[in-house]
Amino acid sequence: MNNNITIGMDLGDRNHVVVVMDENGEEIEMKTISNTEHSLKKFFSRYHVATVAIEAGTHSPWISRLLKEIGCTVYVGNPRKLRIIWDSNDKSDLRDARILAMVCRVEPRLLWPIKHRNRQAYADLGIIKARETLVQNRVRMINHIRSVTKTCGCRIPKCSTPSFSKRAPDYIPKELKDPLKPLIIAIDLLTQQIKEMDRQINRLCKKYPETEKLLQVLGVGPVTALAFVLTIEDPHRFTKSRQVGAFLGLTPKRDQSGKCDKQLRISKAGNTYLRSLLVSCGHYVIGPFGPECDLRKYGLSIVARGGKNAKKRAAVAVARKMAVLLHQLWVSEKAYDPFYKSTAHCAA
């Protein structure tokens, strides 16, 4: 087959719907294939130099890698941008595959294609995500125990999360000791697992030496630094460090028409997990234990303006500046100066 073939594929959990178009935009084949490596290889071996358009989803990472190995040119469309697909009164898998093929054939840039990480980066990032799942479940169990004990007129005093399983049993009423004992044991096991995963993350940071540059920033820990490196993967994909803020959805959306230019909330595009980590770092920087630096001064200046949700807005603003700073440190050989802005202002 020649390389003027365009294929749109609507990905499903069990089956995929495929529409094949020739160079004139005529449909030459429509088919449903099962979601297995063997079926995909068998079908696309006939179109090994074709251009394929798919949507980002659960199966898109491994399928896009497989199709590239076969020899296809693959565009992974951003679902947030493909309103023409999901906003329809007549939505079907066949129609979605057809639209993907039509859009890709005319102008692939209209898909707003995204880039998936490599296999190793996915595996390493999986450790961080697994740790996050353990932390969330531990928090849920601790909150449940605290809530249940309050209904009996008791209260577990404040303590660090790792020490909860050791201190809580002394304050649990007798009638609740047996029902809550399995949760206390589970919390202790989760704490041990989280500590082990922290050690794995520290070892991974040595595998990715660029994290050392990011750890210079006060308020950024190994989890955030490693997640930033594994999510961005290639820092040179951005021509300017300021683009990282928009990539992670930390910049405001825009709705401008004529003289009207509304002030909107952040877009929340991009990687949700990394964005939440950076916002958490922002809260720490402007919090009571935050280190003195230009980032903290900037955040506190926004808090001082007051207004609704001032502290939350300040944390997001600090997170945006932090994302830009981390990228700048990554691509440059400069050491981090926490008072860079203050020093430059005094010098001027």
Say which CATH number the domain at 103 has. Answer: 3.30.420.40
Residue 34 belongs to what domain range? 6-111
Q: Tokens 């994302």: give the residue.
A: 323
Among 68, 79, 104, residue whose Cα is nearest residue 11 = 79
C-alpha neighbours within 13 Å on the C-beta side of residue 45? 6
Q: And the tokens for 46?
A: 């006939």
Tell me, yes or no, whether 306 lies in a domain: yes
Distance CA 281, CA 320 (A): 11
Same domain, 152 and 98: no
Same-domain pairing of 227 and 334? yes
Residue 92 DSSP symbol: -
Give the pair of three-digit tokens for residue 199.
């050690």
In a shared domain, residues 203 and 245: no
Phi-psi region of 45 (alpha: psi -120 to 50; beta: other; left: phi over 0): alpha
Question: Is 290 inside any structural domain?
Answer: yes
Q: Are residues 228 and 127 part of one domain?
A: no
Mark whether 246 and 323 lie in a shared domain: yes
Domain final residue, candidates 207, 236, 271 = 207
Of 53, 82, 111, the one marking the end of a domain is 111
Q: Do both 231 and 339 map to the same domain?
A: yes
**Would you give per-residue pLDDT tens digits along the chain (348 residues)?**
456 899 999 999 999 999 999 988 899 999 999 999 999 999 999 998 999 999 999 999 999 999 999 999 999 998 888 877 777 777 899 999 999 999 999 999 999 898 888 888 889 999 999 999 999 999 999 999 999 999 888 899 999 999 999 999 999 999 999 999 999 999 999 999 999 999 999 999 999 999 999 999 989 999 999 999 999 989 998 999 999 999 999 998 877 777 777 777 888 888 899 999 999 999 999 999 998 999 999 999 999 988 778 999 999 999 999 999 999 999 987 888 888 777 666 655
Assigned domain for 243 exists: yes
Determine, yes or no, domain membership for 216: no
Are the C-beta atoms of 124 and 230 separated by less than 8 Å? yes
Residue 335: partners with Cβ closer than 8 Å, 6 or more residues away: 216
Question: In this structure, what are the phi and psi dihedrals at residue 20, rounded to the nearest 5 degrees?
Answer: -110, 130
Buried b (16+ CB within 10 A) or exposed e, 54-93: bbbeeebbebbeebeebebebbbbebeebeebeeeeeeeb
What the block records as the tokens of 229 is 């490196």
| Position 259 in a domain | yes
Helix axes of 174-207 and 222-232: crossing angle, nearest 10 degrees: 50
Residue ranges of E strands in the chain: 6-10, 15-21, 27-34, 51-55, 73-77, 252-257, 260-266
What SS3 class is residue 256?
strand
252: number of Cβ within 10 Å? 14
Question: What pLDDT does residue 165 have?
Answer: 93
> Would you say residue 168 lies in a domain?
yes
Specify whether 88 is located in the same domain as 132: no
Q: DSSP of 184-207, one letter per residue?
A: HHHHHHHHHHHHHHHHHHHHHHHH
User: 103 with 111: CB under 8 angstroms?
Assistant: yes
**Rounded to an integer, what distance in angstroms lies between the CA atom of residue 301 and that of residue 315?**
11
Domain annotation covers residue 1: no
Residue 131 and residue 53 share a domain: no
Structural domains of the chain, count: 3
The closest alpha carbon to 300, from 251, 336, 290, 337, belongs to 290
In a domain, 96, yes or no: yes
Is there a single domain that holds both residue 156 and residue 62?
Answer: no
CB contact set of 121 (below 8 Å; sequence gap of 6+): 230, 233
Q: Are residues 52 and 72 both part of a single domain? A: yes
End-of-domain residue from the set 161, 178, 207 = 207
User: Do residues 10 and 107 both lie within one domain?
Assistant: yes
Which contacts of 269-276 are long-range, i.e. CB under 8 A and separated by 24 or more positions? 269/80, 271/231, 273/129, 273/132, 273/227, 273/231, 274/224, 274/227, 274/228, 274/231, 274/248, 275/248, 275/249, 275/250, 275/319
Hey, what are 93's tokens? 């898998």
Same domain? 231 vs 172: no
